Amino acid sequence: MDRKESFAAHIKSGYACKGDSIIIGGAMLDGVPLGGEALVRVPLKTMNRHGLIAGATGTGKTKTLQVVSEQLSEKGVPVLLMDVKGDLSGLAKPGEEKPFITERMAKIGLPFESKGYPVELMSISRQNGVRLRATISEFGPVLLSRILDLNDTQGGVLSVVFKYCDDHQMPLLDLKDLKKVLQYVTEEGKAEIEKEYGKISATSTGVILRKLLELEQQDADLFFGEESFDIADLMRKDKDGRGYVNILRLTDIQDKPKLFSTFMLCLLAEVYGEMPERGDLDKPELVIFIDEAHLIFKEASKTLLTQIETIVKLIRSKGIGVFFVTQNPMDVPKEVLSQLGLKIQHALRAFTAVDRQAIKLTAENFPISDFYKTDEVLTSLGTGEALVTALNEKGIPTPLAVTMVRAPQSRMDILSPEEIDSINRSSNLVSKYNQVIDRESAYEMLNAKIEKAGRLAEEEAARKQQEAARRQPERAGRTTTRRRTGVHPVVKVLTSATFIRGVFGVMNKVIK
């Protein structure tokens, strides 16, 4: 058996699947794809073991993300995509069959069928689409403390604030609610809070308010509020059984990493909290792709990173897969990287000694291969080619394969504004979530309480003033009577008959 035959047999056995699978592309040896005899398949049942799609700018990782999303949708698996660059909306429309696409698919050994997929456009900002929101109460004090990077004392204060609102049936829905309560507990409500919960440091509430202001400056006020998004609406299928591709449009928050990381952590925590334990399924319930993942990890505190790592570890059992998409695999903390089963690595660029060191470290994360020198391959991959390794149905890493990634079947370009408007008009979720709701919550209830206290204080002051005014004429009357008789009360006593008789009685006793 020659080298080519040996390699083909190696790939075929390593990527064999008894159950349902998706096809990433065709394996290559010495720069040549081997056709249909060496297809790179990933078992659907391992897609909840998470993954990584990485590569330098222009190497094709966004198109790979598009391909994987298409494949999952066709298999009935709903997808949530973070579209930071704004070039994934084309999934909604059929692609154009061009000669270079037909040629590419022929080399891989797969047919090409132009098609669009069921798409829902979403937003956490002012962009057109279904608005995703969450309330402050849904975050809870622990998660919010980690997002704001509070110390134990400040986190304790936040817990007291949540407890106070729970005890007094005051909903915490948005940022203005939380800010109002924080102001109240150190001002008008200070005595009430200290009596029920103990003393609260004004310094701690000041720090929390400043950190909330930082978050608010990144337009977090658009994200916090009602109607809260129902996770079940991410898991819909169309009439043909294809999973919806939910595209979260994030082109306007690249300079707002705090908002992005806040949303992502909230989403993962909400999905984990809402979904039941499912164990090992034949296919995942939902797969989440986090594009530009470095935006999450770049400014995350150690506590926040620990929270993300924990959720990634545990969410797998809920049937949820999480994929990180980034330029450099080193952007992802090693604690998270070690949890990722599928790795699709596009080309890396080596311009500096630091780059070369990073490539060496990246190569060490892949299985050893008798057919490739991994560190050399990483810098020589062409556009649309990637190093791939996954987990087989038994959870064992598959052989390393340089892969020609299949072409997307949907449009490889963005939608026009008119096409975006058309999708939003036909959406059942826009009418459900895009109505602004501002029901009575902690802000309004505390304002009413403060106004009532002020009104009662004014009424008490007026009552006392009236009482004082009523007593004034009585004192004035006594003074007038005295002036009218012209006799001082002491003089009246000294000249009274009783007093005189008493004096004479004493004198008689003395004379005798």
Give 10-residue mean pLDDT values along the chain (512 residues): 86 92 94 89 95 93 96 96 89 93 94 95 88 87 86 92 89 89 87 88 92 87 85 94 94 77 83 87 94 80 81 91 92 89 92 85 88 91 95 93 96 92 92 78 69 66 75 62 53 54 53 50
**Rounded Cα gap, residues 191 and 180, in angstroms:** 16
Sign of CA dihedral 184, 190, 194, 195: negative
What was the pLDDT predicted at 280? Answer: 83
pTM for this model (two decimals): 0.83
- Structure tokens, 191: 């005595």
- Structure tokens, 281: 């399924």
What was the pLDDT predicted at 497? Answer: 55
**Rounded Cα gap, residues 424 and 418, in angstroms:** 10
Alpha carbon 426 to chain centroid distance?
27
What was the pLDDT predicted at 456? Answer: 66
15 neighbors 41 (Cβ within 8 angstroms): yes
Give the CA count within 13 Å in the CB-facing half-sphere of 248: 21
385-389/342-345 β-pairing: antiparallel
Q: Which residues contact 129 (CB under 8 A, 6 or more apart)?
A: 120, 121, 122, 123, 249, 420, 424, 430
Using H for helix, E for strand and C for coil, what is the string for 306-375? HHHHHHHHHHHHHCEEEEEEECCHHHCCHHHHCCCCEEEECCCCCCCHHHHHHHHHHHCCCCCCCCCCHH
**Rounded Cα gap, residues 180 and 161, in angstroms:** 11
User: DSSP 3-state assignment of 502?
Assistant: helix
With 0-12 CB in 10 A as exposed, 13-18 as middle and 19+ as buried, what is 379? middle
**Rounded Cα gap, residues 399 and 8, in angstroms:** 11
What was the pLDDT predicted at 248? Answer: 93
Q: Furthest-apart CA pair in the chain: how many Å?
A: 158
Nearest to 110 by CA among 42, 27, 52, 44: 27
Bridge partners (DSSP) listed for residue 459:
none
User: Which whole-number Å values give the CA distances from 348 to 59, 248, 351, 353, 486, in the listed order?
Assistant: 8, 27, 10, 13, 112
499 neighbors 491 (Cβ within 8 angstroms): no
What was the pLDDT predicted at 498? Answer: 55
- Structure tokens, 385: 């080619």
212 neighbors 179 (Cβ within 8 angstroms): yes
